[in-house]
Amino acid sequence: MDEAPTPGLNIAVLVKHVPDAQFDRHLNGPRNTTERSESILSELDEYALEAALQLVEQHGGDAAGHRVTAVTMGPGPAVSAVKKALQMGAAEGVHLTDDALAGSDASATSRALAALLSHLGPFDLVLTGMASTDGETSLVPAQLAERLDLPQVTFAAALELEAAEAGWTLTARRDGDAYSETIACALPALVSVTDQINEPRYPNFKGIMAAKKKPLRTLSLSDIGLAADEVGFAGSWTAVEAAEPRPPRSQGIVITDEGDAGLRLVDFLAGQKLL
């Protein structure tokens, strides 16, 4: 790959600590918030981190002055998402934590993250996963782009950077149902990536040991110039008034094929008026 003729890339990767989707997940408490025990680094954020690491490696690595910072916001244990990112290869970690953040919806979350990134940056590239695996709204990356006035390239299934005199340009591929698109923009930009973009690496022993020596900063709202009522329940534009688990599906009939299962299947469909 070419030596980078431009200054090093400053990349932020947003990571989130989410309830493990392999287990039952719950909303609880008086304000129907997410139960966050049994949490892990959101699987979808690993693709964003891997994409950042690969871009850096393709363009001269740390030696070229590139830097990947893993950023999260959330209660104390959320820092483990950043630690996992440091083990995978991020150079630096930042954890925004404050009791006032609890209950933030997408608008309050994007406000907090925008203030955090402005405080830490400027960044050439902000990378995120395609959605969190808990809230699943996919709103935060777009709102962050709007607040930071960045072009957004979401759901990238492939990503390339090219260094030119005028600065870095980014090319991405997005795969839709009916067509595949090529998207281009100049940096700075916000990019979200899908789970098709790469195969995230596992942290190896060396990476786990090295992570312990990497800088990891903890910031509070006052550090980034936000008031408590701009985030959390108070700063949110939506509220959850009630939540209940969907009644479990009752188990139906299970038959073993004795040569006529196809016919019995059609009988069942006819009985349900589905033919």
- Binding to other proteins, residues 100-129 (CB under 8 A): 105-107, 110
Q: Which of 2, 5, 37, 182 binds other proteins (CB under 8 A)?
A: 182
3-state secondary structure of 166: coil
- The secondary structure element, H or E, covering residue 112 is helix 106-120
Q: What angle do CA 146, 163, 144 make, to 5 degrees?
A: 10
What whole-number distance in Å separates Cα of residue 246 and Cα of residue 145? 34
Tell me how many residues contact other proteins (CB under 8 A): 85
CB of 125 to other proteins, least distance (A): 13
User: H-helix or E-strand containing 107?
Assistant: helix 106-120
Question: What dihedral angle (degrees, nearest 10) is formed by the CA atoms of 150, 153, 154, 159?
Answer: -130
Residue 43 or 223: the one with the smaller Cβ distance to other proteins is 43
CB of 28 to other proteins, least distance (A): 10
The smaller minimum CB distance to other proteins, of residues 163 and 172, is found at 172
Within positions 19 to 48, which residues make up the interface with other proteins, using CB under 8 A?
21-22, 24-27, 32, 43-44
Largest CA distance in the chain: 71
64 binds other proteins (CB under 8 A): no
Residues 134-173 that bind other proteins (CB under 8 A): 134, 136-143, 145-147, 149-155, 157, 171-172
Under the binding rule (CB under 8 A), the answer on residue 205 touching other proteins is: no
Give the whole-angstrom CA distance, residue 45 versus residue 130: 8
181 is an interface residue for other proteins by CB under 8 A = yes
Ordered DSSP codes for 1-61 = -PPP-SPPPEEEEE--EEE-TTS---EETTTTEEP-SSEEE-HHHHHHHHHHHHHHHHTTT
Q: Which stretch binds other proteins (CB under 8 A): 48-56, 91-99, 214-222, 238-246?
A: 238-246
Nearer to other proteins, 72 or 143 (CB): 143
Is residue 185 a contact residue for other proteins (CB under 8 A)? yes
User: Given the complex with other proteins, which of 1 and 269 has the nearer CB atom?
Assistant: 269
